[in-house]
A and B are shown apart, each in its own frame.
Chain A
Amino acid sequence: DVKVTQSSRYLVKRTGEKVFLECVQDMDHENMFWYRQDPGLGLRLIYFSYDVKMKEKGDIPEGYSVSREKKERFSLILESASTNQTSMYLCASSWEGGYTFGSGTRLTVV
């Protein structure tokens, strides 16, 4: 089974901190994605990447950046965390048959 691992299950950070959310997949997938999920708003796409060092903006990229230095790793960066970035963050990698998601990181910015 494909495994997508997100480094932290829960994180609490202070406003203004730089935050790194790490995601690693073990099946050599080229495509990787970052979503955030908020009550009533569903899953929204932040950034995605089709290959190493490539990145594309999703629907809500403001306040975020990403890094893909290696094929298996896709990092989401909050340059200066704000309280409105408190959310569940979900990483996924895709294959021909669909997406595999990680378990999510619940980030709280205080």
Chain B
Amino acid sequence: LAKTTQPISMDSYEGQEVNITCSHNNIATNDYITWYQQFPSQGPRFIIQGYKTKVTNEVASLFIPADRKSSTLSLPRVSLSDTAVYYCLVGDSGNTPLVFGKGTRLSVIA
């Protein structure tokens, strides 16, 4: 399974755009990139998934360069409720168990 590397923590003010970058140099051809959000005492929640280029949904955007060795989760205009841990995972869409890293702890400040 491709290993991922992401910053341990980030701080942001409310209303700002937050970009969290994840590197996955050994990503395989059939791997997708998926991001999850976890609040304290809750299970991780699926945010967005992509294979290449750009994916956008009502919550976030995911940017993936052509070489797919990294990806960037973009959260537009964050609020206090976006304070959470964000995990970047790489795998073949649920058929192989996902390996969670430490994630990025995002703190949004008023």
Contact = CB atoms under 8 A, between A and B. Distances in A.
Interface of A: 4, 31, 33, 35, 42-45, 48, 58, 88, 90-92, 94-104, 106
Contact of A98 (B42, B94, B97, B100): B94
Majority DSSP secondary structure for residues of B touching A: loop
Which of B36, B98, B99, B101 counts the most chain A CB atoms within 10 A? B98
Interface stretch (B17-25, B43-51, B67-75): B43-51
A44 B45 CA distance: 16
Nearest to A91: B43
21 contacts: A35-B100, A42-B100, A43-B44, A44-B100, A88-B41, A90-B43, A91-B43, A94-B95, A96-B94, A97-B49, A97-B94, A98-B36, A98-B46, A98-B94, A99-B98, A101-B43, A103-B42, A103-B43, A104-B41, A104-B42, A106-B41
Which of A33, A43, A91 counts the most chain B CB atoms within 10 A? A43
Contacts of A97: 34, 46, 49, 93-94
B17 to A, nearest CB: 24
Contacts of B49: 97-98
A1 to B, nearest CB: 11
Nearest to B94: A94
A91 B42 CA distance: 11
B102 interface: yes
Majority DSSP secondary structure for residues of A touching B: strand
B101 to A, nearest CB: 6
Interface string B54-95: 000000000000000000000000000000000000000111
Contacts of A101: 43-45
Given A31-B95, A88-B41, A106-B41, A100 B46 contact: yes
A94 B44 CA distance: 13
Contacts of A45: 97, 99
A98 B43 contact: no
Q: 6 smallest A-B Cβ distances: which pairs?
A: A101-B43, A94-B94, A43-B100, A98-B46, A98-B34, A90-B43
